[in-house]
């Protein structure tokens, strides 16, 4: 959140509600390192002010569409087999892709992520771009 002293109370409340009372949350108060807590708080509160350019939004939409089509294909192809698709967590694919791209942009050379079975094939196909064959 910007360190301005010109906040009106209603604007401050709206900004904090937008950061902490929407569909995503972050838990960091258990961390003992104050520097790490402050860094997470600053990043989480300011992310709502980031805007994406049109090319990035279109790219994310295409990834989301690809993941939806992949899930539909798997549902039709293996309709009698128990499978774990992305139902309810569709935004995970473009979100993960954006996070990985941002890491690379900031200089990260490797990343490791672990995840439960739900949507793992879809993630491998649409984020990591493993071949779909």
Residues 58 and 119 occupy one common structural domain? yes
Going residue by residue through the chain (133 aa), what tens digit of pLDDT does each one get? 555 567 788 887 887 777 777 766 677 778 889 998 888 888 777 666 667 788 988 888 888 888 888 888 888 888 887 766 667 677 777 778 888 888 889 898 888 877 766 667 777 777 777 776 6
Measured CA to CA, the distance from residue 41 to residue 29 in angstroms comes to 9
pLDDT at 82: 72
Residues 16 and 62 occupy one common structural domain? no
Residues 39 and 77 occupy one common structural domain? no
- For residue 45, the enclosing domain spans 9-49
Measured CA to CA, the distance from residue 34 to residue 23 in angstroms comes to 26
Residues 58 and 122 occupy one common structural domain? yes
Residues 44 and 58 occupy one common structural domain? no
pLDDT at 48: 60
Residues 80 and 119 occupy one common structural domain? yes
Residues 108 and 76 occupy one common structural domain? yes
Predicted structure pTM score: 0.50
Residues 39 and 66 occupy one common structural domain? no
Q: Is residue 1 part of a domain?
A: no
Q: Is residue 2 part of a domain?
A: no
Residues 102 and 121 occupy one common structural domain? yes
DSSP result, 6-64: ---HHHHHHHHHHHHSSS-----TT-S-HHHHHHHHHHHHHGGG----HHHHHHHHHHH
Residues 121 and 85 occupy one common structural domain? yes
- Number of folded domains that form the chain: 2
Give exposure, 29-59, as e/b (b: 16+ Cβ within 10 Å). Answer: eeeeeeeeeeeeeeebbeeeeeeeeeeeeeb
């Amino acid at each position: 959140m910007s360190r301005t002293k010109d906040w009106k109370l209603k604007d401050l409340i709206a900004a904090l509600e937008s950061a902490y009372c929407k569909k995503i949350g972050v838990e960091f108060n258990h961390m003992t390192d104050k520097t790490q807590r402050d860094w997470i708080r600053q990043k989480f509160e300011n992310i709502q002010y980031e805007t994406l350019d049109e090319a990035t939004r279109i790219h994310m939409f295409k990834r989301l569409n690809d993941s939806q089509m992949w899930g539909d294909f798997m549902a039709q192809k293996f309709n009698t087999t128990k499978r774990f698709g992305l139902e309810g967590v569709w935004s995970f694919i473009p979100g993960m892709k954006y996070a990985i791209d941002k890491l690379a942009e900031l200089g990260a050379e490797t990343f490791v992520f672990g995840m439960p079975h739900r949507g793992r094939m879809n993630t491998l196909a649409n984020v990591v771009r493993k071949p779909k064959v």
